[in-house]
């Protein structure tokens, strides 16, 4: 792995604004177990977020983007030259989520807009592209958003965790940033651990095959590749955030890579909001930024089935302190919770046949 070349833009790029969104409703994992396993068995998390009837990836992405803009301050909307939304639950199969978001935040018409799909790493894929777009000098600002209202087959293992949420990042010049991108590295192979064919309501997955050859292999190689090339070690990072499909996987991968539970705790939200798919690691990063201090280093590693990981190294700047409270913190959204039962969940996810 010593031959790895990390990704670095021509000019320094950073996060000018960030924002999160988590819906209000929570489905306790025990409620899934009550309906589908007679209450037996261990549950992978405590509860997951569930979108309201009037929420989807567009509305979630939009609120996260508005929070990012609030933190960014007085950004000229015409200078936002890309609005990219990664998700596996775009409301339209054909018709971009991103044009709606771009229009609503006033970034139209002189902008790129596109939807990204790479399972749970669609958001960081867009993030990487935005870094490149700004770093090349083609754009002053670019939006990368991960948002999902993840589907799961009722009763499946994923039914306990498939959640909804979003995180948005406005990338821009490093000297305007609250956190600077030090370097990144992506690691991708053709590994079919999880997929959804066209026109299918629910995804399929490879069971235990999603673990070692997929999640662990890609995250470990992306993280090691980046750190070796940069010459950094786990103890150089104040925080680390890993894709979090459940509580066990990120804890295990952190341990294998040499990170302590304290380093990953602030960004480990899955126990309380579930797996927000394309937003999963990105929303973890928002929670970390909510409490990071200038100078802190953060390692972010996503994972998307199919499969790949983006590893990104960031350093927090002095600007964080004045921008943080211009928008609700991720914890504000997590604290806003209304538990619902499985029947209500089924209604809000439109699982009842109405026609």
117 is known as an active-site residue:
no
* φ and ψ of 225, to 5 deg: -60, -45
Q: Kindly name the residue from 31, 47, 63, 88 that is annotated as catalytic.
A: 88
**What would you report as the CA-atom Rg of the chain, rounded to the nearest whole angstrom?**
19
Work out which of 53, 265, 343, 351 binds other proteins, going by CB under 8 A. Answer: 53
> Does residue 85 touch other proteins according to CB under 8 A?
no
> Does residue 83 touch other proteins according to CB under 8 A?
no
> Does residue 325 touch other proteins according to CB under 8 A?
yes
List the alpha helices (DSSP H) in the chain.
Answer: 29-36, 57-72, 97-104, 122-135, 217-230, 248-257, 261-264, 270-273, 280-289, 320-323, 330-335, 342-348
217 is known as an active-site residue:
no
Contact segment (CB under 8 A) with other proteins among 6-14, 181-189, 239-247, 328-336 equals 328-336
| Cα–Cα distance for residue pair 96/109, rounded to 1 Å | 14
| Cα–Cα distance for residue pair 125/281, rounded to 1 Å | 12
Contact segment (CB under 8 A) with other proteins among 113-121, 150-158, 223-231, 323-331 equals 323-331
Structure tokens at 342: 């499985």
Long-range pairs for 262-270 at CB < 8 Å and ≥24 separation?
263/234, 263/237, 263/238, 263/239, 264/239, 264/240, 266/239, 266/291, 267/239, 267/240, 267/241, 268/241, 268/244, 269/244, 269/330, 269/334, 270/45, 270/161, 270/244, 270/245, 270/246
> Does residue 63 touch other proteins according to CB under 8 A?
yes
> Does residue 54 touch other proteins according to CB under 8 A?
yes
> Does residue 52 touch other proteins according to CB under 8 A?
yes
In the complex, the smallest distance separating the C-beta of residue 103 from other proteins, rounded to whole angstroms, is: 6
> Does residue 198 touch other proteins according to CB under 8 A?
no
In the complex, the smallest distance separating the C-beta of residue 332 from other proteins, rounded to whole angstroms, is: 5
| Cα–Cα distance for residue pair 62/168, rounded to 1 Å | 8
* φ and ψ of 125, to 5 deg: -60, -45
243 is known as an active-site residue:
yes
Q: Please report, as residue ranges, which positions from 19 to 38 form the binding site for other proteins (by CB under 8 A).
A: 24
Contact segment (CB under 8 A) with other proteins among 41-49, 99-107, 109-117, 299-307 equals 99-107
Contact segment (CB under 8 A) with other proteins among 149-157, 266-274, 309-317, 335-343 equals 335-343
Residues identified as active-site: 88, 120, 243
Task: Return residues touching other proteins (CB under 8 A).
Answer: 24, 52-56, 58-59, 62-63, 91-92, 100, 103-104, 106, 324-325, 328-329, 331-333, 335-336, 338, 350, 354-355
């Amino acid at each position: 792995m010593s031959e790895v070349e990390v990704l670095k833009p021509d000019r320094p790029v950073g996060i000018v604004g960030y924002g999160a969104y988590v819906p209000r409703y929570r489905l306790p994992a025990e409620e899934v177990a009550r309906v589908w396993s007679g209450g037996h068995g261990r549950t992978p998390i405590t509860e997951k977020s569930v979108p309201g009837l009037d929420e989807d990836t567009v509305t979630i992405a939009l609120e996260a983007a508005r929070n990012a803009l609030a933190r960014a301050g007085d950004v000229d909307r015409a200078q936002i030259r890309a609005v990219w939304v990664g998700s596996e639950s775009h409301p339209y199969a054909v018709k971009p989520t991103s044009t709606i978001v771009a229009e609503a935040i006033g970034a139209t018409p002189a902008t790129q807009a596109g939807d990204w799909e790479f399972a749970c790493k669609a958001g960081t894929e867009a993030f990487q592209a935005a870094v490149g777009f700004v770093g090349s000098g083609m754009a002053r600002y670019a939006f990368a958003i991960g948002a999902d209202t993840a589907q799961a087959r009722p009763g499946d293992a994923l039914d306990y965790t498939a959640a909804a949420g979003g995180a948005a990042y406005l990338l821009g010049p490093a000297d305007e940033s609250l956190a600077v991108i030090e370097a990144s590295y992506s690691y991708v192979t053709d590994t079919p651990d999880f997929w959804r064919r066209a026109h299918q309501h629910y995804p399929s997955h490879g069971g235990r095959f999603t673990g070692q050859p997929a999640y662990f292999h890609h995250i470990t190689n992306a993280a090691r590749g980046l750190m070796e090339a940069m010459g950094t070690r786990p103890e150089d990072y104040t925080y680390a955030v890993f894709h979090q499909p459940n509580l066990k996987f990120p804890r295990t991968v952190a341990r294998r890579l040499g990170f302590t539970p304290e380093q990953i705790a602030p960004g480990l939200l899955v126990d309380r909001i579930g797996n927000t798919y394309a937003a999963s690691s990105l929303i973890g990063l928002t929670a970390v930024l909510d409490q990071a201090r200038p100078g802190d280093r953060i390692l972010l590693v996503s994972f998307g089935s199919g499969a790949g990981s983006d590893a990104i190294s960031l350093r927090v700047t002095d600007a964080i302190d004045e921008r943080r409270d211009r928008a609700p913190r991720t914890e504000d959204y997590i604290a806003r919770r209304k538990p619902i039962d499985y029947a209500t969940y089924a209604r809000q996810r439109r699982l009842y046949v109405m026609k």
